[in-house]
Amino acid sequence: MNHGIGIDITFLSLATLAVVTGWRVFRTDSMVRASFFLLVSFIAVGVIMILLAAEYLGVAMFFMMAVEMTVMALFMVMFMMNPAGLNPMNMVHQERIAIGAGIVGFLVLGAMALLAAFPDQPVSADLEPVRSLGNEMLGDSMLIFESAGIVLLTTMIGVVVLSSHRGRYGAAAVGSLPPGLEPGGDPAGKLEEDEEEESGGHQHHHHH
């Protein structure tokens, strides 16, 4: 594939942007900012896809990820006690193992990229990527595409069931108790008097 120096410069800056913002996701105190860093990383990758002539996929990446990350940020604000990161935090576990695994993953995959010989068959210039994708999705691979749709529908139903306030046998949260702020401590948030109110409903055994 022939392209000018302009494309190379654009690619390099986008690649740097994608990696740096991807890294910042786990290095910022604010969880809202983290989700928007992730969004920037996705957008950079989306623009690279457009440079690669996958015009539909790149643009689809923008709107898919914009919606996903908005939802994510909203969840951060709704559930996190410190979404803005005004109080610095360090909520990590097994960090050394994780760093090791990350580096090993990068090295193995990078070695594959450098050492393996891949066939050199670039996209021909007269291919219309959007049309070809459309023909594939609603032609030969229609079954796969439709199954993805069915799975998404199933997910929606499952998610509503999981997150619904009321379960089949009464309120979903009956009998559960928040964990302590320190191991073995008193429950955080909701207090014991919740337990008495839950006597109706279903016969569930409490193990506290």
Partner 1 sequence: MLLSELFLPVLMVMFMLTVGAYVVAVLDRLIAGAFGAPQAGRVWLAPMARGAWLMTQHANATEAPDWQAWRLAPALYLALAAIGLAVVPWSESLVATDLVTSVVLWGSVEALATVVIFLHGWSANALLALIGGYRYVALGLSYILISMFVLIGVALPAESLQFTQVVASQEALWNVIRQPLGLPLFLIVGLGMTFWGPLNLADSKDLAGGTASEISGPPRLVWDVARAAMLVAFSGVAASAFLGGWMGPWLPGPLWMAIKMLAVLLVLLLLGRVLPRIAPERCVTLMWVVLLPLSFIDLVWAGIGALL
Partner 2 sequence: MTLTTLLLLAAALIGIGIYGALSQQSFVMLMMGLELILNGVMLAAVAFWAFSGAGAPEGQLLTIIVMAVMAIEMAMGFALVVAVFRGKQADMTESLTGLKH
Partner 3 sequence: MAVNWLRKLASHKRAPVFPVLGKQGDKALRYLALSPEIELVDSPRHASVLLIAGEVPADRLEPLRRVHDQLPDPFTTLWFRNEPWPHLENVDRIDDLTDLPAALTKAHRELMTGQRDSGCRILSDRPPNPWKGEGDFGQGGEGMMGGVPYGRPMAMNMQEDISDGLTLDSLTFRLGPFFMAFPPGMAAEVTLQGDLVQSWETQLEPYPQRLDAVFFNARKHPVPIAEIELARARHHLQRLYHALHLAGLEALSLSSLRLAHGLSTSSTLDGLRRRLVRSGFFHLAAVGGGVLNTEQARQFGGPAARAAGLADDLRSHDAGYRRLGFSPVCQDGGGVSARWKQILDEVEQSLMLARQAERDEVYTNDVDCIETPRGPWDEQPPEDASAILDEILPGLEWGDALATIASLDIAAVADRGGGTQSPGESRAVQGGSGNVVK
Q: What is the binding site for partner 1 (CB under 8 A)?
A: 30, 32-33, 36, 39, 55-56, 59-60, 62-63, 66-67, 69-70, 73-74, 77, 84, 86, 128, 130
Mask of contacts with partner 3, 152-171, x by CB under 8 A? Answer: -----------xxxx-----
Please, what sign has the CA dihedral across residues 191, 193, 195, 200? negative
Residues 6+ away with beta carbon under 8 Å from 85: 28, 29, 30, 31, 32, 33
Report if residue 95 touches partner 3, rule: CB under 8 A: no
Nearer residue to partner 3 within complex by CB, 143 or 160: 160
**Count of residues that bind partner 2 according to CB under 8 A:** 95
Which of 4, 5, 6, 87 forms a contact with partner 3 (CB under 8 A)? 87
Q: For strands 166-167 and 170-171, give the pairing.
A: antiparallel
Q: Are 28 and 85 in contact (CB under 8 A)?
A: yes
Q: Are 28 and 83 in contact (CB under 8 A)?
A: no
- Nearest CA-CA partner of 80 in 64, 66, 91: 91
Nearer residue to partner 3 within complex by CB, 46 or 83: 83
Report if residue 82 touches partner 3, rule: CB under 8 A: yes
Nearer residue to partner 1 within complex by CB, 12 or 77: 77
Residues 6+ away with beta carbon under 8 Å from 108: none
Report if residue 59 touches partner 2, rule: CB under 8 A: no
Nearer residue to partner 3 within complex by CB, 2 or 87: 87
Report if residue 122 touches partner 2, rule: CB under 8 A: yes
